[in-house]
Amino acid sequence: MCLGLPMIVVELRPGDVALAEYEGVRKEVSVALLAGDVAVGDFVLVHVGFALSKIDPERARETLALLAEIAGLEAR
Amino acid sequence: MSNRLPPGPAIDWDHGRIDLSHGSGGRAMAQLIDELFVAAFDNPILGQMNDQAQFDAAPGRMVMTTDSYVISPMVFPGGDIGSLAVHGTINDVAMAGAVPMYLSSAFILEEGLPLADLRRVVASMAAASREAGVPIVTGDTKVVEKGKGDGIFINTTGIGRVPPGIAIGGDRARPGDAILVNGTIGDHGMAVLSQRESLGFETTLKSDSAALHGLVARMIAAVPGIACLRDPTRGGLATTLNELATQSGVGMVLDEAAIPIRAEVRAACELLGLDALYSANEGKLIAICPGECAADLLAAMRSHPLGAQSAIVGRVVADADRLVVMETAFGGRRIVDWLAGIQLPRIC
Amino acid sequence: MILVDEFRDRDVALRIARVIGAEARPERSYAFMEFCGGHTHAIFRYAIEDLLPANIRMVHGPGCPVCVLPIGRIDAAIALAGQPGVTLCTYGDVLRVPGSHRRSLLKAKAEGADIRVVYSPMDAVKLAQASPDRQVVFLAVGFETTTPPTAVVVLEAERLGLANFSVFCNHVLTPPAIAAILDSPEAQGGALRLDGIIGPAHVSAVTGSRAFARFPRDYGQPVVITGFEPLDVLQAILMLVRQANAGRGEIENQFTRGVTEDGNRHAQGLMARVFESRETFAWRGLGQLPASGIRLRPEFAAWDAERRFSLPEPEAEPPTACRCGAILRGLARPADCRLFGTGCTPDNPIGACMVSSEGACAAEWAYGRARHRGKETA
């Protein structure tokens, strides 16, 4: 698939590098593909050590709400 | 400590390095053995300074096992190659239900190894042996030329005695038996991997390296009818269960949701495309016992500090194909196969 | 895990599956192709087919970049790794892919070739910096997801003036492979009927959903760009059922949390700067596909391993009973291949579909057998 994980940026470092975290695991990743549009607290999709794009948690919540609605559940 | 060695130049423990003379059989070797190994492992049998250890045999059934330790990096969170060489071999003895008695240790050192590194490893080995109450009673040291080793290789052999009435073996699992583990899976493998320069990720994960004979003693006291014990080291839980299934001629069904795995181990595995079931453990055991004893065994395991997170993770079934199958938390079923090749970081 | 675990809720999944069951029309059948191996893996891992009504069939596509790497390129990589002074770096997935005569990079490594597994292409650059006496070649594979990182490291090597680093480029593009399947005689002739396509999320994070808009437009095929968690896949299947029922053929985006219509323009720009299209590129199982592969532009020749090293001409592929080709095109299922599980297993793969855990055969081996053999006694 192209393994990709949503990691949260915890620190920006010099040279287009960020420290990103996923469930207690921290890894330096390159943010060279984000052209500077990245801040601490952003979720980024990480593949082979590079942040490919930002992940929008608001959109994720919308999707989950829609799924809950389809499923006939109260949105959580 | 020793009274046989004439005085020679002092060893520079802080800046010195292993050279070929440390394996030559001459004064430098004798001095190293005396000042380092004998001093650290300090016990009466080793102190006899013979080329072999002499001791009285225990009555009954004995076990003997040997294992070599080549781990890189040499030092990792939660241990080092020295403590690992003690724990690993003690555990192999203990997996017969045996009480470990003595260890041997053989070092293969690479020319150029800093003496400070060696001293650290030997100290940790001595501490592990003392803590476990299993003395290192004989040993050997060889030095290989630079490039022909990887710093330190250690071989340890262990012997122990099996208490009367205990019969544990990998061929004794039967349909209806329960499968238990004594805690979280994959910690050691991922802790070591986190230190590899090429992967370098930061976690608070530590190796689970520990000597399990105390836990085993409590387990067999509670349930003498334990059928199998095995430590899922290389190849992890998945590979070890396949070994046991093959040896016993049975199948196994695992409950994914019941297998304890730390969040950090799971996360590191997702990051690298690895599977925690195949990640090594150095302080874990798999126990298989008749289903009706499972609750007692679980309670005994949980009462020990090294078994606080014990869980029943599956059951033994009749299966001519000897497959290990996992019922996934999502309701799927997958075959947990032998590891194909080696685990490597993946992109897809 | 935030943004992950919520999309693995089994209760919600069962309810979505019931909605799919209610909306799928009993008088017809549905065949949806998931292009991407990540979806294949998720479908097996989460046993999604067990949740679906019998008239919805998932067809596993060729979207595993490791599986489609042709034998000739593996042979070339093995030859490259065997050249004096060369250190070959690549992703772990590639090591076990069989070349000709069942050789692989893993076997070449055992025979003494200096082959290293890297997690990131940046690690290969660092290795080149640290080993000035070695020629470090990065064997690059992957789709549009994996390509921008390679572009970054080529530009980095240029910036550093790194003379001992080069890239053996095997990057391929996903839309031409989808087009090849839709254009195939089987699809055109009706032997392979598709009612919709599950499109790749992570590829689309780079390319944007727009890259797949031609399939609804030119082929009338519904496409839903889809995430890799089970709820993502189930939602996408529902979206495809609804499109099919309404006779619509549109591009829809289920993975809105990471994919936009435009994708990552900066990454696209870097790719365009470093790479150019090849006239044609061979895909294992699909054959030569026009404009489906890319290579370094001539101005980056100094970092192009194909220009810097002489590589062997690919051998003609020997005839084999392996049916990976048909499986990758959705025409056969793994169990249809007589090598499956006999001559070809994950331990000793013959076909590419068995190599990667994303391959349809490897997924069937791990999950499908457990599903089909029923419950054990005990």
CB C367 to CB B340 under 8 A?
no
**Percent with pLDDT over 70 in chain C:** 96
Concatenate the DSSP letters of all residues of B156-186 into one string: EEEEEEEPTT----TT---TTEEEEESS-SS
Report yes or no: B327 and B336 within 8 Å, Cβ to Cβ: no
Rounded CA separation A22/A28 (Å): 11
Residue B260, burial from CB neighbour count under 10 angstroms (0-12, 13-18, 19+)? middle
Rounded CA separation C283/C77 (Å): 16
Report yes or no: C198 and C208 within 8 Å, Cβ to Cβ: no
A75 lies in a domain? no
A25 lies in a domain? yes
Average pLDDT along chain C: 91
CB contacts of A2 in chain B (<8 Å) are 347-348
A11 lies in a domain? yes
- Model confidence at A75, pLDDT cuts 50, 70, 90, reads very low
Pick the range with the lowest mean pLDDT from A24-33, B28-37, C278-287, C340-349: C340-349
Here the tokens at position B92 are 């192999």
A32 lies in a domain? yes
Rounded CA separation C337/B212 (Å): 47
CB contacts of B347 in chain C (<8 Å) are 65-66, 91-93, 141-142, 146
Could you count the other beta carbons within 10 Å of the beta carbon of residue C6? Answer: 17
Rounded CA separation B150/B113 (Å): 9
pTM of the model: 0.90
HSE-CB of B74 using CA atoms within 13 angstroms: 20
Q: Which amino acid is at C263?
A: G
Whole-number pLDDT of residue B2: 47
- Phi then psi for residue B66, to 5 deg, are -140, 150
B127-143, pLDDT tens digit by residue?
999 999 999 999 999 99
A76 lies in a domain? no
C32-43: string of b/e by CB count within 10 Å (b at 16+)? Answer: bbbbbbbbbbbb
Please check the confidence at residue B246 and state whether its pLDDT lies above 60: yes
Give the contacts of C262 (CB within 8 A, at least 6 positions apart): C208, C210
Whole-number pLDDT of residue C258: 96
Report yes or no: B41 and B135 within 8 Å, Cβ to Cβ: yes
What DSSP element (H or E) covers B68? strand B61-69
Domains detected in chain B: 20-162 (3.30.1330.10), 177-335 (3.90.650.10)
Here the tokens at position B3 are 């009274």
Q: How many domains does chain A have?
A: 1
Average pLDDT along chain B: 93
**Tokens 């839309």, residue located:** C175
**Does C12 contact B at CB distance below 8 Å?**
no
CB C92 to CB B345 under 8 A?
yes
Domain that holds residue A47: 5-70
C22-39, pLDDT tens digit by residue?
999 999 999 999 999 889
A30-71, pLDDT tens digit by residue?
999 999 999 999 999 999 999 999 999 999 999 999 999 999
Sign of CA dihedral A21, A22, A23, A24: negative
Rounded CA separation C253/C244 (Å): 16
Nearest to C369 by CA among B29, B335, B106: B335
Nearest to B203 by CA among B261, B263, B260, B259: B263
Give the contacts of B261 (CB within 8 A, at least 6 positions apart): B184, B185, B186, B276
CATH number at residue A24: 2.30.30.140
> Smallest Cβ distance to C257: which of A35, A63, A72?
A63
Could you count the other beta carbons within 10 Å of the beta carbon of residue B131? Answer: 13
**Does A64 contact C at CB distance below 8 Å?**
yes
Pick the range with the lowest mean pLDDT from A43-47, B270-274, C209-213: B270-274
* DSSP label of C299: G
Report yes or no: B80 and B191 within 8 Å, Cβ to Cβ: no
Instruction: Show which subunits contact C, needing at least 3 CB pairs below 8 angstroms.
Output: A, B
Mean pLDDT of the B30-58 span: 90
Please check the confidence at residue B1 and state whether its pLDDT lies above 50: no
A60 lies in a domain? yes
> Smallest Cβ distance to C45: which of B273, B328, B338?
B328
- Phi then psi for residue B316, to 5 deg, are -90, 135
**Does A25 contact C at CB distance below 8 Å?**
no
Here the tokens at position B213 are 């004979």
**Measured CA distances, C81 to B338, C95, C98, C119, C168 (Å):** 29, 12, 15, 18, 11
CB B318 to CB C64 under 8 A?
no
Whole-number pLDDT of residue C50: 86
What DSSP element (H or E) covers C125? helix C121-130
Whole-number pLDDT of residue C376: 44
**Measured CA distances, C106 to B221, C86, C93, C123, C322 (Å):** 47, 16, 11, 19, 21
Nearest to B134 by CA among B89, B87, B158, B101: B101
Rounded CA separation B338/C345 (Å): 11
Whole-number pLDDT of residue B197: 65
Instruction: Show which subunits contact B, needing at least 3 CB pairs below 8 angstroms.
Output: A, C
CB A27 to CB B201 under 8 A?
yes
Domains detected in chain C: 31-174+193-308 (3.40.50.11740)
Mean pLDDT of the C201-214 span: 96
Say whether B324 sits in a helix, a strand or coil: strand
CB contacts of C37 in chain B (<8 Å) are 348
Whole-number pLDDT of residue C2: 65
